[in-house]
């Protein structure tokens, strides 16, 4: 791949956008009011807007290795705070994906240096759901299930934040857990029990 190609692609992209809407970039320059915050994996195959059929201005995006929501990660916490408190999004999505390298790495024992503390959070998800996961004999199925449980736990982490609790109370903001199946392109709604989780964790994590 030649890096110059990127700029050529960009020119083609501009022309394409202008063909369908001559004011496209004028409108884009006026500001953003996305309705959805998407937290996904950095994996190159899982392309956020593209897989949802959405475009510029429609989604506020945060991506990191294995779509983690870690309470002391200033990066993800700032994104959540800004999207929920300032942009007033009403939908927050954690989107994991099957065949996630981050989740795979957390299932294996290896010293991966700076990645260790990051992956430890996924190992914690395994520990939390050890009984269920250990009962799955097929390694691929176990791997898929850990991807799903990791999404669910990151949703729980979102619900622990004051911003999400407050926005739920004030305007009924919802948190969703999805998985992208890289083998079929399908987006799967895990249908996490948002209100059930909220009720459960409020006993301990109530902030607002």
Least separation in angstroms between residue 199's CB and Co ion is 30
Q: Closer to Co ion at the Cβ: 136 or 182?
A: 182
CB-wise, 100 or 125, nearer to Co ion? 100
Cβ proximity to Co ion: between 41 and 198 the closer is: 41
**Read out DSSP for 36-61?**
EEEEEE--TT--THHHHT--TTSEEE
- Binding-site residue total for Co ion (CB under 5 A)? 4
Q: Taking CB under 5 A as the criterion, which residues in 82-101 touch Co ion?
A: 100
- Asked if 115 and 181 count as a contact pair (C-beta separation under 8 A), the reply is no
Q: How far is CA 163 from CA 68, 152, 166, in A?
A: 17, 18, 5
97 catalytic, yes or no?
Answer: yes
The yes-or-no answer on residue 100 being catalytic is yes
Task: Please answer whether residues 202 and 161 qualify as being in contact, where contact means their C-beta atoms are separated by less than 8 angstroms.
Answer: no
Strands 91-97 and 187-189: unpaired
What is d(CA 57, CA 97) in angstroms, rounded to the nearest whole number? 24
Residue 108 CB, shortest distance to Co ion, in Å, is 15
Residue 95 known to be catalytic: no
Which residue, among 85, 87, 121, has the nearest Cα to 103 in the 3D structure? 121
Distances (CA, A) of 91 to 1, 56, 65: 37, 17, 21
The whole-angstrom separation of Cα 163 and Cα 93 is 15
Residue 70 beta carbon to Co ion: minimum distance, rounded to whole angstroms: 15
Query: The tokens of 189 are what?
Result: 């709604």
Smallest distance, Å, CB 16 to Co ion?
A: 29
Task: Exactly one of 62, 95, 100, 144 is catalytic; name it.
Answer: 100
Q: Does 43 bind Co ion (CB under 5 A)?
A: yes
Decide whether 34 or 96 has the Cβ nearer to Co ion.
96
Give residues 47-76 in contact with Co ion (rule: CB under 5 A).
none
User: Among residues 105 and 198, whose Cβ is nearest to Co ion?
Assistant: 105
**Catalytic entry in 27, 45, 120, 189:** 45
Q: How far apart are alpha carbons 191 and 197 in whole angstroms?
A: 12
Q: CB of residue 4 vs Co ion: minimum separation in angstroms?
A: 29
> Interface residues with Co ion (CB under 5 A)?
41, 43, 100, 102
Catalytic residues: 41, 43, 45, 97, 100
């Amino acid at each position: 791949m030649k890096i110059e190609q990127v700029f050529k692609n960009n020119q083609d992209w501009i022309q394409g956008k202008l063909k369908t809407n001559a004011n496209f970039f004028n409108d884009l320059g006026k500001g953003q009011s996305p309705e959805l915050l998407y937290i996904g994996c950095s994996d190159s195959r899982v392309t956020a807007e593209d897989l949802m059929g959405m475009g510029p201005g429609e989604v506020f995006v945060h991506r990191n290795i294995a779509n983690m929501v870690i309470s002391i990660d200033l990066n993800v916490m700032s994104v959540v705070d800004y999207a929920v408190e300032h942009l007033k999004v009403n939908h927050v999505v954690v989107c994991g994906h099957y065949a996630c390298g981050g989740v795979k790495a957390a299932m294996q024992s290896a010293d991966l240096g700076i990645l260790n503390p990051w992956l430890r959070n996924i190992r914690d998800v395994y520990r939390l759901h050890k009984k269920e996961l250990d009962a799955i004999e097929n390694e691929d199925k176990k791997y898929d299930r850990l991807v799903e449980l990791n999404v669910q736990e990151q949703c729980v982490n979102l619900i622990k934040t004051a911003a999400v609790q407050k926005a739920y109370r004030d305007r009924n903001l919802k948190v969703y857990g999805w998985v992208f199946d890289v083998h079929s392109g399908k987006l799967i709604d895990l249908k996490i029990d948002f209100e059930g989780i909220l009720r459960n964790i409020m006993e301990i994590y109530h902030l607002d």
